Amino acid sequence: GAGVSQSPRYKVAKRGQDVALRCDPISGHVSLFWYQQALGQGPEFLTYFQNEAQLDKSGLPSDRFFAERPEGSVSTLKIQRTQQEDSAVYLCASSLGAGYTQYFGPGTRLTVL
């Protein structure tokens, strides 16, 4: 079956612009995660959904970052008033539930000029 997909794959934004990054998880996966991977570093946790409920948002770096999953499937990560330090690859992962393997999408590379 299809894996996790993310769109767009690449996004260039001017500083101050708002961006929206989309994640389509594997069908039937109830858990969905967002991670941020800065250049040369490992991914860092941003937020976690169980179905439509956002159970953990402790990794969101500021109130400019907002994530939603209104119907428990597709998720959107929104970044308002982008800053240069937001430049990174944003990874989405999904799993069947607690304790199951997380499957990652290809990521969205965000560059803020």
Partner 1 sequence: AQSVTQLDSQVPVFEEAPVELRCNYSSSVSVYLFWYVQYPNQGLQLLLKYLSGSTLVKGINGFEAEFNKSQTSFHLRKPSVHISDTAEYFCAVSDKRYGNKLVFGAGTILRVKS
* Contact residues: partner 1, CB under 8 A: 4, 31, 33, 35, 40-45, 48, 55-56, 59, 91, 93, 95, 98-99, 101-107
Write the Ramachandran bin of 16: left for phi over 0, alpha for psi from -120 to 50, otherwise beta: left
Question: Which residue, 40 or 70, is less far from partner 1 as judged by CB?
Answer: 40
Write the Ramachandran bin of 107: left for phi over 0, alpha for psi from -120 to 50, otherwise beta: left
Q: Shortest approach of partner 1 to residue 81 CB, angstroms?
A: 26
Question: Which residue, 66 or 104, is less far from partner 1 as judged by CB?
Answer: 104
Question: Which residue, 9 or 81, is less far from partner 1 as judged by CB?
Answer: 9
Q: Within 10 A of 72 (CB to CB), how many other CB atoms are there? A: 15
Q: Shortest approach of partner 1 to residue 87 CB, angstroms?
A: 16
Q: Shortest approach of partner 1 to residue 53 CB, angstroms?
A: 12
